[in-house]
Structure 1
């Protein structure tokens, strides 16, 4: 597995350009650096690029549940075990219905129980399938659910951020960290 080429860096062993980010992450995580971050620190540019893209996506005008649908669509599509687990926890913290979480965790054809959120998932998949050249019908379906043209571009931002994350996590083979008690 390619993960053996990506060490679990400590703040001291990481490339200098990754250390500040790792220190900030450790401060938010009770002193520990998550394995995904420790391995991604091998490339400070990728680590910092993902965190910046993720922060931009989090500050977008898409509502939190819609953002999580984009993330979970990417995570299950790209089979990123870390993202699935982390964002399952985030969905639960947001008070998402258990059925929504269950369907999002299982890639497949079962529609989400919420029509508006299912529209986000369909639009995300359409953007991926067409490399962004979504047809007028797909865009109109998305807009008819109360989303905006700005939201459509924000879905693209989420796809970009979580393409980077899911592919990097799979490449590095980072394990899912246990939640501290």
Structure 2
């Protein structure tokens, strides 16, 4: 139903973004090609993603938020892409596997990020004081609590759009393929 746009077939407003994406990755990811149908969504996601990358959360904490969203929402593309990111970050294999399998994390601090992310989602932001205190006690700040919300918003957009467009997994991500547990 959704088209795998090329730079030439995409709506004019998406062409520059697709060209930059292709240059960055060395190929045009199918997810981006399909999101090009809605240039503002594509551009918005990429801008928000870049903003999330500059938050005060450390890289593994950010990836914990992303993988929590990706597994929760069943986005096989996001799980694969962010598994590759975790490997580039030299994340411990046990952490990567636990994030992919939605199992308890071997790092208490990162488990606090995951727990807080789930609590924000489960309460639609009405996080109980004790849950916020647990996040802060794990070494995070009030600013970082709000940065988790930025990550949730960014990756809600991405995971839902990728599922809606039925974005396939690109060949370079095949080694990191994932399917939700049945």
Both structures adopt the same fold (TM-score exceeding 0.5): yes
2:123 corresponds, among 124, 130, 138, to 130
Q: Which residue of 2 aligns with 1:99?
A: 94
- Residue 156 of structure 1 and its aligned partner are, at CA, apart by 0.1
Aligned residue pair count: 173
Q: TM-score, normalised by structure 2?
A: 0.93
Q: Which residue of 1 aligns with 2:176?
A: none
- Residue 52 of structure 1 and its aligned partner are, at CA, apart by 0.8
- Residue 111 of structure 1 and its aligned partner are, at CA, apart by 1.4
Q: Which residue of 2 aligns with 1:162?
A: 155
2:11 corresponds, among 8, 11, 15, to 15
In the alignment, structure 2 segments of 5+ residues that lack a partner are: 174-182
1:54 corresponds, among 43, 49, 63, to 49
SS in structure 2 opposite 1:179?
Answer: helix
Q: CA RMSD in A?
A: 0.9
Give the 5 Å matches for 1:28-39.
28-30=24-26, 32-39=27-34
1:24 corresponds, among 20, 30, 33, to 20
Asked if residue 148 in structure 1 is aligned to residue 148 in structure 2, the reply is no
Moved over 2 A (4+): none
Residue by residue, what CA displacement relative to the aligned partner does 1:131-167 show, whole Å, maximum 9, x if unpaired?
0110100000000011000000000000000000000
Q: TM-score, normalised by structure 1?
A: 0.94
